[in-house]
Structure 1
Amino acid sequence: MGIFITMLVVAWVIYMIVKKYYPQAVLLTAGIILLLATYFLGTNPVLPAKESSGSALLDIFHTIEVLLSSRVAGLGLTIMSIAGFAKYMEYIGASKALFAVVASPVKRIKSPYLLLVLSFFVSQILVLFIPSHAGLALLLMVTMYPVLIRAGVSKLSALGVIGCAQYMDVGPGSGNEILAAHICNINPAVFFVEYQLPIFATTTLILGGVHYLVQKWWDKKEGFTGYDNSVELIKEDESRPPLIYAILPIIPMIFILGFSPIFKSKIRMDVVTAMFLSTFISMMFEYIRTKDFRSTLQSLKYLYEGMGNSFATVVSLIVAGEVFAAGLMKIGAVDVMTAGVQNLGLGIKALIILFCIVIACCAFLMGSGNAAFFSFAALAPKIASALNIEVVTLLLPMQIMTSFGRVVSPITAAIVAIAGVAGVSPVQVVKRTAIPMGVAALVNVAFILAKS
């Protein structure tokens, strides 16, 4: 009966999310239904005795309080501080200054397709400091896109590269990376440098060549021969603060990596401290530039607005996903699933690849890497334990593959946004991102197979 109820609930969740219902509400409702079923079936206690409210029925809703209080105080605060800092960088224009510095050599390249490849590499540098797929993509649309079009790059080739701007969620500024590191109980800086960076660097180099070949092939196939003088260009955004502001988005990364076990520092600086310290340093820059003490103090509200927006969109989604995961575990569905995949007779590596494919498909259907990863990440420790492997061995390739599924989805926010700005269909954009992401998925699989 428990498995039958689980199948119905999971099918309902998939249907509702594909239909674009509010995912937080869908996952939370599904989790409560599964916990109610657990209570009435008597499968497992909803909460352990030390966390129980004293009433097994009330524990269903007390689970939300337990998860919310622990997440907001720890992981949630980390993610909110990152979002707040990113919002502040956007407000003072530091992201535009960073682009101006990083991309200045790109404008000197005359070959359209070589320029396209170098632009892709530039976007991968920026993604470490601008941890938002939609935010980075829109920034590139008002900075890089006009440069590419004027150089003779086709509109869809440019969109194909910009759509892949955050093809992998990496670095201590990424919400997915922070959650993965937290679940694996690994320092975010260590998780990035020792686990993500080798895959990210290798895949990025390979994709540079893939974009060169694929975008050139698509242009030839679709008959692109260059623009005439009547082509309508997006006006390049020339408004930005002084170039010295380019260092501001980089400061948190310097603090996080510098004061971490990687460099054997005796001082430890967590992500939240790095974000707030970097914000106050940025406020000093703003005061020196504007000479307006009132407006400088007023600007701090953008940090808190970013934090609040992150709570509403990201932290709430994590908690809703964990309630759903708790329901799946308590009703026994995860035990049945892990036993089932073990009985398939597949090896560990094949099972990891299977889980990666499933979560990538979920990201494609949802149009969101966060929604897919946050929904299933909490299940990873139990599944890894059943498979007798380390959590990071399962979770890392799943986290990476989630991003690929998002980039090829025509309903992803970033894809829809850049397609709208350029006046093309999102489907035309994902045609240009599909082959590169297919190659990226194969590289990820190769890393899985290469592990002993």
Structure 2
Amino acid sequence: MTSIGPLLSVIFIIITARLLLKKRNPHSVLIILGLLMLLLASSLNYKIPPLASSTNFIGFDLFKHIKESFSKTNAGVGLMIMAIGGFVAYIDQIGASKMLVHVTMKPLQLFKAQPYLAASLVIPIGQILFVAIPSAAGLSLLLMASLFPILTKLGVSKISAASVITASTAFGIGPASAITVSATGIANEDIITFFVNNQIPLVIPLSISMMITYYFVNRYYDKKEYNQTNDVRVEEETINVPMAYAIIPILPILLLILFSELFNFFSTPIVLDTTTAMFISLFIAMVFELVRTKNVKMVLESLKIFWNGMGNIFKSVVTLIIAADIFAKGLISLGFIDGLLKASQNLGFEAVGIGVVMTVMIFLASMLMGSGNASFFAFGPLVPKIATKLGVKSTSIILPMQLSASMGRAISPVAGVIIAVSEIAGVSTLAIVKRNFIPLVVALIIMLFYHFI
């Protein structure tokens, strides 16, 4: 009985892959197959994720999972993504994005002959920001608002620009990262010590390798597919807003860095989350507009742009994230992750072998489920027992595992960050995944050799 669930989950993965490759509606595919897996898991007496409150009837409980996923997502990451989507729509409408491009183009003229070098530099810059703003979807959309138009202006294709922006969230490190907090708790390590002594030394060579591979991969694909991307260089146009508007798109990033836990600028810590920063920045932008236009009615009416932007992101992005969450619950319920782990343990690997296998499994699980947190939280708690049995430190196994979780997410077509960026960029999720695949796999291989050998 125990092997039936994992086998069924593999069959569902194959069916899902085939349907998505045939360009069937991903919302429908993920949520329907996810519900079917939950139903099968319940029929086979497998443990399914608990509900906050059950209806006491499995047929209704299936749909209660959807309701609770909506509640959880909309109250957290869903609201954040919608707020960012609304802000992106607003700053585009008032001309702030265009002014940022105009202002930034002058110092970036140095990269005009090497646009792909400029694109590669986004990776370390974004990674530094990711330490202070530990939300993959949130940071990526902020970069879409500020850096994406600059890169396309330099001649980088939309797909290449989107790929390096998602790549900047490939390593979930730092004290504010949920995966890091979980990893240090499991390994019983001080979080700052773990960040400085373990994460940074490993991430630096991986970031360098990604900069190099993205440079060549994006340049190769753009030359090969240029006529298919329909990308054009942005023509010069008149911008009828003050130069000060260039600061508006990066206001949320500045606020989050200034008030992050990474720095102690204030005697009494001020806690600021991404969603709140977006609303603060929105109203600052409205003040800019009021000063410029001196038209109260028009400025108040302009708020509709923000709400419409939120609505567009909800119907296209947030609903897909919810569908992917149901699909992930189905896989977990059928024992997909447990089956992978037991198979590796039965092969009798030693510390290095177990570490490599678990790192690769988390990488693949993140790809399939679109969630680095889900895959790591499933595998992570098993590390101390395995490490004790093998006579090694937990950190030697858990460090590459936690990095591979966020790396796998960066090449998952159902990951929130990929979905959100693809929607804003106007490209398909599979197109971004195609660009990310080679650099991330190369980085994974380098990490395995660098850390274990």
Match of 2:377 among 366, 376, 381: 381
Give distance in 2, aligned partners of 1:109 and 1:289: 33
Give distance in 2, aligned partners of 1:199 and 1:313: 36
Give distance in 2, aligned partners of 1:18 and 1:320: 17
Cα shift at 1:280: 0.3
Corresponding position of 2:227:
none
Match of 2:275 among 272, 276, 300: 272
Cα shift at 1:343: 2.7
- 1:442 is matched by which residue type in structure 2? V
- 1:6 is matched by which residue type in structure 2? S
Superposed, 1:71-150 pairs within 5 Å as: 71-107=73-109, 112-113=113-114, 116-118=116-118, 120-121=120-121, 131=141, 139-140=149-150, 143-145=153-155
8 Å Cα contact 1:357-1:401 kept in structure 2: yes
- 2:276 is matched by which residue type in structure 1? T
1:170 aligns with 2:169: yes
8 Å Cα contact 1:46-1:330 kept in structure 2: yes
- 1:170 is matched by which residue type in structure 2? T
8 Å Cα contact 1:94-1:249 kept in structure 2: yes
| Superimposed CA distance per residue, residues 176-199 of structure 1 (whole angstroms, 9 cap, x where no aligned partner) | 99xx9456668xxx99x9899887
1:291 aligns with 2:294: yes
8 Å Cα contact 1:116-1:158 kept in structure 2: no
RMSD over aligned Cα, in angstroms?
4.6
Change (3 A) 1:29 1:159: closer
Match of 1:22 among 15, 22, 25: 25
Give distance in 1, aligned partners of 2:199 and 2:244: 29
Structure 1: which 5+ residue stretches go unaligned? 146-156, 223-231, 363-371, 420-425
- 1:307 is matched by which residue type in structure 2? M
1:69 aligns with 2:71: yes
| Superimposed CA distance per residue, residues 290-328 of structure 1 (whole angstroms, 9 cap, x where no aligned partner) | 222222122222222222222223322222222122222
1:238 aligns with 2:237: yes
Cα shift at 1:142: 5.8
Corresponding position of 1:43:
46
Give distance in 1, aligned partners of 2:217 and 2:34: 43
Give distance in 1, aligned partners of 2:425 and 2:276: 35
1:312 aligns with 2:315: yes
Corresponding position of 1:350:
356
Structure 2: which 5+ residue stretches go unaligned? 130-138, 183-190, 225-230, 385-393
Give me the TM-score of the superposition, normalised by structure 1: 0.70
8 Å Cα contact 1:260-1:269 kept in structure 2: yes
8 Å Cα contact 2:344-2:354 kept in structure 1: no
Identity of aligned residues (%): 26
Give distance in 2, aligned partners of 1:68 and 1:430: 26
1:341 aligns with 2:344: yes
Cα shift at 1:235: 5.4
Cα shift at 1:207: 5.6
1:399 aligns with 2:422: no
- 1:354 is matched by which residue type in structure 2? V
Cα shift at 1:14: 1.2
Give distance in 2, aligned partners of 1:318 and 1:141: 27
How many residue pairs were aligned? 395
> What SS does structure 2 have at the residue aligned with 1:299?
helix
Give distance in 1, aligned partners of 2:47 and 2:93: 49
- 1:92 is matched by which residue type in structure 2? I
Change (3 A) 1:56 1:164: closer
Change (3 A) 1:51 1:251: same
8 Å Cα contact 2:366-2:406 kept in structure 1: no
Change (3 A) 1:98 1:361: same
- 2:54 is matched by which residue type in structure 1? S
Corresponding position of 1:229:
none
Give me the TM-score of the superposition, normalised by structure 2: 0.69
- 2:235 is matched by which residue type in structure 1? E
8 Å Cα contact 2:260-2:271 kept in structure 1: yes
